[in-house]
């Protein structure tokens, strides 16, 4: 997707997410809304969803859109585990080059994983977006997705 178009689409979808979540306090409902709105706005989003921190160093599938996702992911495994461990966004242009990548769906070719924090700055989840195209994600996706997950900070 061309950069200018991508920026504009993110601006629109961010406004839509902000407006839809206005007054909503429930975390899962908010995650489901974000996954749905993002997934259907971008053609290159093949799998869009959340893995929640449910135990020390353990992620469990949360609201998502796309094909079947793996249910449990340890912090020791995959791109999601690495992002959770480092508490930083990770962009992987080619998942086949990422040691330990978990292939939930063989059509997944590139990926971005963004950490999600609560009001106390504790890691509560990661947002995982996979694409069926190589090199689909860049700094524009990173910046906007990091902003979008801040809408979850005060949800419980």
Q: Which residues bind ligand SME (CB under 6 A)?
A: 47, 69-70, 73, 78-80, 101-102, 104, 108, 111, 128, 130
Do 124 and 31 contact (CB within 8 A), yes or no? no
Q: Tell me whether residue 30 or residue 110 sits nearer to ligand SME (CB atom).
A: 110
Closest to 73 (Cα-Cα) out of 65, 81, 84: 81
Q: Tell me whether residue 11 or residue 40 sits nearer to ligand SME (CB atom).
A: 40
Provide the minimum distance between the beta carbon of 41 and ligand SME in the complex, in angstroms, as a whole number.
19
Provide the minimum distance between the beta carbon of 104 and ligand SME in the complex, in angstroms, as a whole number.
4
Provide the minimum distance between the beta carbon of 95 and ligand SME in the complex, in angstroms, as a whole number.
6
Provide the minimum distance between the beta carbon of 74 and ligand SME in the complex, in angstroms, as a whole number.
10
Cα–Cα distance for residue pair 48/132, rounded to 1 Å: 12
Q: Tell me whether residue 30 or residue 108 sits nearer to ligand SME (CB atom).
A: 108
Cα–Cα distance for residue pair 145/6, rounded to 1 Å: 12
Cβ within 8 Å of residue 24, ≥6 positions away: 30, 33, 155
Nearest-CB residue for ligand SME: 78
Cα–Cα distance for residue pair 1/42, rounded to 1 Å: 9
Cβ within 8 Å of residue 121, ≥6 positions away: none
Cα–Cα distance for residue pair 150/66, rounded to 1 Å: 23
Q: Tell me whether residue 128 or residue 141 sits nearer to ligand SME (CB atom).
A: 128
Q: Tell me whether residue 95 or residue 148 sits nearer to ligand SME (CB atom).
A: 95
Provide the minimum distance between the beta carbon of 1 and ligand SME in the complex, in angstroms, as a whole number.
20
């Amino acid at each position: 997707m061309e950069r200018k178009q991508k920026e504009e689409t993110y601006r629109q979808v961010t406004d839509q997410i902000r407006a839809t979540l206005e007054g909503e306090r429930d975390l899962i409902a908010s995650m489901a809304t974000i996954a749905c709105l993002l997934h259907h706005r971008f053609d290159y989003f093949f799998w869009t969803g959340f893995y929640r921190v449910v135990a020390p160093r353990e992620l469990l599938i949360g609201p998502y859109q796309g094909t079947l996702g793996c249910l449990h992911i340890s912090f020791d495994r995959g791109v999601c585990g690495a992002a959770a461990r480092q508490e930083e966004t990770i962009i992987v242009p080619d998942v086949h080059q990422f040691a330990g990548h978990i292939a939930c769906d063989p059509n997944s070719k590139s990926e971005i994983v963004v950490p999600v924090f609560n009001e106390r700055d504790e890691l509560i989840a990661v947002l995982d977006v996979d694409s069926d195209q190589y090199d689909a994600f860049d700094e524009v996706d990173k910046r906007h997705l990091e902003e979008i997950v801040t809408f979850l900070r005060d949800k419980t």
